[in-house]
Amino acid sequence: MELEDTQAAPAQKPGAPGFTPDRTATVDGRARATPIGIPAGSQLGHFKIVRQLGAGGMGEVYLATDLALDRPVAIKVLPDELGRDARRRDRLIREARAQARVAHPNVAHMYFIGEEEDRLYFAMEYVAGNTLAERIAKGPMSVEAALDVIRGAALGLREAQRNGFTHRDVKPSNLMIDGHGVLKVLDFGLAAGEAGIGVSGPVAQTSLAGTPLYMAPEQARGEAVDHRADIYALGATLFHLVAGKPPFEADSVDELLSLHATAVRPALPRRGQPRTQIGAIDALCTKMMAPDPADRFESYDDLLRAVELASIVHTRPAGFWARSVAMLLDFVLITIIVTLGEAAVSAITGVGVRSNMPIIIPVLAIYNALATARWGRTAGKALIELEIVDVQTGARPAMPQAIRRSLAIFGLPILVGTIDFVLAVSGMSVDADIAGVATFLMMLGGLGLLLYAALRVSAKRAFWDRAVGTVVRYRR
């Protein structure tokens, strides 16, 4: 698709007199750069050209052989238009040198930068595999496969950001899965940043460029961008991987950029995939593709946590039956303890007990909170190999969080039991054990809510888990 091509850009600086975003690109973006056409067998430095791999607005890419180390490399030759602009040329060289210091399994490595007959070129790691653009040309990806590659891309982009880079051209054709199944982020040809910066901040765009199908609205407007522009493009890529088509399509660059800035993104089609997972991906895309950068994920760490939470394979959330059995085991355990305790008190004092249900629920709530904060699981959950974790940290919940969770689960039954106890102490006549009946009905209601969460909610999180930021999953 032509609008997936990287658009070349003017060298004007945003904010300078007369600057306007480049809207004159033809639909065929590749017509913007003069073809280079290096024949096979030619040499650039100590690299021998084998064949062309691809071409775009930012240059042509060739497979070559590193004659010094006898290994395949990818050579990217920049258009003559870039080489003649001294300021942009120097910036690209400076940033390529800084990029060479980025060492991460999910980033294709930069090996060498050189110049031959006034032609600037980069030698990069050659990744033998398929780009995501080639993969989705065969059809949409499964939710888990899409989340896996997005997670790898986010890890690579996070490392680039730590070294001061914003990629600015994230798209399926710049993400490749190598022969070992590892996702590689390719082509930092539009990367913005300053050498030596440890963490990048907003970067003023010295040129307006990118790929319209995936471009963040602020990038299209020529404003300063940071890693959140890459998160937007990664969200558009995630949508494309799952839906089989980009989030927005149009006949012109102008119309497409306008849709990204103002239109409501269409919902992801289900395509027979689990409703809970499609809902999770749709919510994830909504957050990643928020028109306002402030509404997107603040950091890659936040994004990675959300991606992992949406992944059933990675999070392994516990479903209805496992959690119900664990809850039943805890209930039986506490019932036995309370019954034995009350029998001992009754034997000592000679005072009978009318019902132990009003006592069981508060004790169960206290036990649940203490065990969750101390071990991240109760005895029942431990037997089923479950754990309760904070979705933000992956660690067991803190005590205040565990208390809030326990109150969300048991608060209403405790309130009913308390009212029943006050009535009994006041000497008011009650025809039935109101607390016991009400508590039983509430337990059935809780199981219903749990069943609903298991069938309809991302990561199978019941309302009490969503309220306090926890998830119940199988132990790692």
The predicted-structure confidence for 201-247, as pLDDT tens digits, reads as follows 555 454 445 688 899 999 988 888 899 999 999 999 999 999 999 99
pLDDT in tens, 172-197: 988 999 988 899 998 775 556 543 34
Q: Read off the pLDDT band of 18 (50, 70, 90).
A: very low
Per-residue pLDDT, averaged over 119-145, amounts to 90
Q: What amino acid occupies position 45?
A: G
Identify the three-state secondary structure at position 253.
helix
Band of residue 285 on the pLDDT scale cut at 50, 70, 90: very high
Please report which residue ranges of 55-213 form alpha helices under DSSP H.
Answer: 80-83, 86-99, 132-136, 143-162
pLDDT score, position 6: 60
State the Cα–Cα distance between residues 369 and 334, nearest whole angstrom.
13
Amino acid at 21: P
pTM of the model: 0.77
What are 32-47's pLDDT values in tens digits? 455 667 888 889 989 9
Rg (CA), the chain: 29
Q: Which residues contact 117 (CB under 8 A, 6 or more apart)?
A: none
Residues annotated as catalytic are 169
**What single-letter DSSP state applies at residue 225?**
B
Task: Choose from 140-149, 406-415, 433-442 the range with maximum mean pLDDT.
Answer: 140-149
pLDDT higher for 402 or 199?
Answer: 402
Cβ(387)–Cβ(402) below 8 Å: no
